């Protein structure tokens, strides 16, 4: 867990993303009578803070963005300045951006159901349409064009909301900051429109519609739409706008959705949807026609099923953050150490801001390479050297330590900074003074824990934690993430009891206490117990729709077929469908725990034979087609349909009858023809 940092009237809790131009922090704001709210703070990177030209654009674009109030647009609360840092306070969105979803699909080989992708696309269209049509106080259109609609700028919240972020930054970047930010659009060329590539003077809202089509196409197929071997090749692909049908990669995509994307992705803006709302109308109509839940609740349920572990971790963080109050103002002497690299275990809960995108093709079925941490940035000139942060170890007070024992070895991603003075005694005094300042300020709760727990110069011991299974675990010591795999070794830990928690997806969390003894290395063995198998969810699409379906012997009702059905996971499940006139369909299904998927079950009609003979012989006509002279045998007929059989002979009355197979597979028609004009 990162240490909180006072920042003006806010407290920065943890950094959740950083890009080439700005960084975003989860923060806490305070009001009267104990009011508090988790928000996001986006601030210009230190190396850009002194660029007057960029700051002016940042401020002007923020003033425009604050006028946008829509359910599908991230809300802006405040524009301010703290010291030399300009910042924007905005809505915090707990969820995943579409780029994170792409990466999740690659790791898990899961696709989001098509109707939920269509729902996300419709909400994107509605949010952008609102921005495109927004007028100022003078009644004139503001002419807002996002210009950077890309996967990292669309967030799906855990409750099923869809939010578009970064209107202002995108517009400022593409128009006015190219001379000092060369290459800032690297990786974004694939989400431009052809008119942007060709440098058209007037870029209107239809450019965003093209970008929507690109993002949605990739979400359906799981791979990049426009990505060449070089930037130039990518630009050429966008300029030519040659788009394959998404259904060629994802057979669950209906033709209607292909047509919607083709219209959004046409090279000529005049051939696209005139407004994003027109595209939203078509998507909404398609969603309802698909006969499945087309709402935020369905999307939220899907997110909860697939990201339950992330939601639980965020909830645990917020429970700790709830203890932080804003009873006093932060001290101006504390600054943020932006040179520290964030803890890799703290996955971003909000879309990354201007993050550099992967250049390789995003293929749904390829393994995801291990993500490398970015190198630490050089320390900005205007920031003071940092002091090692206080680790959370013991809660027992300690006597004044000897000067030689004042070294601290902890590495939280965010740390408080102050002036470093020579001498171990001076350093110790600074540590104590800094902690007391935090005690008096808004970050007092966690600072108190750190100070009270730190026995400077007191007895320490070692701790080794071994976990079975060892990979992909999250180890917490005293509510702080300390390791992502086993074994974990801590050389210097205060003597006494420490809270220990171990988490692993698919296993029950282990919670306990470990007692560290002086001058000993305490070893703790933790064996995690698998959680009970989480059922999978399957949406069965049956053809013909009135066929009887059973899953492991359970008869599925028509009502159950209308939505996802929970099925056992991790083992073989027998799926069987029957209908008169069709071959029985039987298959074995093995679903992964907690995964939602669609299963198409198409029954094949059984074949029937028709034998036609007559006295005297005549010509056989079936459904208007002549099939030869009697006797005549016809095979490979569809037993589910009706046939009109007619026997004709010159000078005789024609015989005609309708034939149905029913449960039979062989039908005979043997009429005795009557001479023409003969009365019975």
CA 669/CA 647 separation, integer angstroms: 9
- In order of 276, 282, 559, the CA distances from 131 in angstroms are 10, 19, 40
Q: In what order do the strands lie in the sheet with 162-164?
A: 95-97, 154-157, 162-164
Whether the CB-CB separation of 579 and 546 falls below 8 Å is answered with: yes
The secondary structure of residue 308, as a DSSP letter, is H
148 is catalytic: yes
Q: Which of 148, 166, 258, 342 is catalytic?
A: 148
- In order of 430, 451, 495, 516, the CA distances from 398 in angstroms are 16, 10, 12, 17
Whether the CB-CB separation of 165 and 153 falls below 8 Å is answered with: yes
Tokens standing for residue 87: 């910042």
CA 337/CA 157 separation, integer angstroms: 29
CA 77/CA 16 separation, integer angstroms: 18
CA 145/CA 168 separation, integer angstroms: 10
Contacts (Cβ under 8 Å, ≥6 apart) of 526: 465, 466, 467, 468, 500, 502, 510
Q: How are the residues of the chain apportioned to helix, strand and coil, as percentages rounded to the nearest 5?
A: 25, 30, 45
Whether the CB-CB separation of 132 and 276 falls below 8 Å is answered with: yes
Closest to 42 measured CA to CA, from 90, 99, 97, 96: 90
Whether the CB-CB separation of 29 and 10 falls below 8 Å is answered with: yes
Q: Where are the beta strands (DSSP E) in 337-453?
A: 416-417
Q: Angle at which helices 444-453 and 424-440 pack, to 10 degrees?
A: 140
Distance of CA 432 to the CA centre of its chain: 43
- In order of 110, 156, 277, 290, 390, the CA distances from 114 in angstroms are 12, 15, 20, 10, 49
Q: Which residues are catalytic?
A: 148
């Amino acid at each position: 867990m990162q240490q909180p940092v006072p920042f003006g009237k806010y407290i920065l809790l943890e950094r959740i993303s950083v890009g080439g131009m700005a960084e975003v922090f989860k923060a806490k704001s305070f009001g009267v009578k104990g009011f508090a709210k988790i928000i996001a703070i986006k601030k210009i990177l230190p190396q850009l803070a002194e660029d007057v030209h960029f700051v002016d654009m940042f401020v002007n674009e923020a003033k425009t963005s604050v006028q946008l109030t829509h359910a599908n647009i991230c809300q802006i609360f405040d524009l301010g300045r703290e010291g030399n840092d300009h910042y924007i306070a905005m809505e915090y969105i707990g969820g995943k951006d579409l780029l994170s979803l792409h990466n999740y699909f690659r790791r898990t080989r899961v696709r989001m159901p098509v109707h939920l992708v269509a729902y996300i696309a419709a909400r994107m269209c509605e949010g952008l349409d609102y921005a495109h049509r927004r007028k100022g106080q003078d009644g004139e259109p503001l002419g807002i064009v996002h210009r950077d609609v890309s996967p990292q700028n669309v967030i799906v919240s855990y409750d099923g909301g869809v939010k578009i972020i970064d209107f202002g930054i995108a517009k400022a970047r593409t128009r006015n900051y190219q001379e000092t930010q060369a290459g800032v659009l690297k990786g974004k060329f694939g989400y431009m429109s052809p008119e942007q590539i060709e440098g058209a003077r007037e870029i209107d809202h239809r450019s965003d519609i093209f970008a929507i089509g690109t993002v949605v196409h990739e979400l359906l197929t799981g791979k990049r739409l426009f990505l060449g071997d070089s930037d130039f090749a990518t630009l050429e692909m966008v300029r030519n706008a040659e788009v394959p049908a998404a259904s060629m990669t994802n057979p669950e995509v209906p033709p209607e959705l292909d047509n919607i994307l083709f219209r959004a992705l046409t090279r000529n803006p005049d051939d696209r949807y005139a407004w994003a709302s027109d595209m939203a109308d078509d998507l909404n109509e398609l969603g309802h026609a698909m006969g499945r839940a087309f709402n935020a609740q369905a999307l939220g349920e899907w997110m909860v099923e697939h990201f339950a572990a992330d939601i639980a971790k965020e909830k645990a963080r917020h429970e700790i953050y709830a203890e932080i109050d804003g009873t006093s103002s932060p001290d101006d002497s504390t600054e943020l150490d932006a040179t520290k690299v964030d803890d890799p275990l703290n996955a971003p809960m909000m879309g990354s801001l201007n993050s550099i995108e992967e250049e390789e093709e995003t293929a749904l079925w390829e393994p995801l390479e291990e993500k490398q941490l970015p190198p630490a940035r050089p320390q900005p000139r205007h920031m003071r050297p940092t002091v090692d942060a206080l680790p959370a170890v013991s809660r027992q007070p300690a006597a004044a330590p000897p000067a030689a024992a004042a070294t601290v070895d902890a590495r939280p991603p965010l740390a408080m900074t102050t002036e470093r003075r020579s001498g171990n005694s001076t350093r110790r005094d600074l540590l104590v003074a800094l902690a007391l300042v935090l005690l008096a300020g808004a970050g007092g709760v966690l600072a108190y824990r750190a100070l009270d727990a730190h026995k400077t110069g007191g007895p320490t011991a070692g701790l080794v934690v071994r976990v079975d299974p060892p990979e992909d675990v999250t180890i917490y010591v005293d509510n702080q993430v300390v390791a992502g795999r086993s074994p974990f070794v801590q050389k210097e830990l205060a003597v006494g009891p420490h809270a220990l928690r171990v988490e692993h997806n698919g296993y029950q969390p282990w919670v306990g206490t470990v007692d560290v003894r002086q001058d000993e290395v305490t070893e703790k063995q933790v064996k995690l117990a698998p959680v009970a198998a989480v059922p999978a969810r399957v949406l069965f699409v049956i053809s013909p729709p009135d066929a009887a379906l059973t899953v492991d012997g359970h008869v599925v009702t028509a009502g159950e077929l209308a939505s996802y059905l929970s099925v056992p996971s991790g083992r073989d499940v027998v799926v069987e469908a029957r209908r008169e006139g069709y071959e029985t369909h039987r298959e074995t299904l093995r679903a992964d725990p907690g995964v939602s998927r669609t299963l198409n079950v198409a029954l094949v009609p059984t074949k029937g034979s028709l034998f036609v003979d007559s006295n005297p012989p005549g010509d056989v006509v079936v459904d208007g087609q002549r099939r030869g002279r009697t006797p005549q045998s016809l095979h490979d007929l569809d037993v589910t349909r009706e046939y009109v059989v007619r026997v004709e002979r010159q000078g005789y009355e024609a015989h005609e009858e309708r034939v149905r197979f029913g449960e039979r597979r062989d039908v005979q028609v043997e009429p005795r023809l009557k001479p023409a004009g003969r009365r019975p």
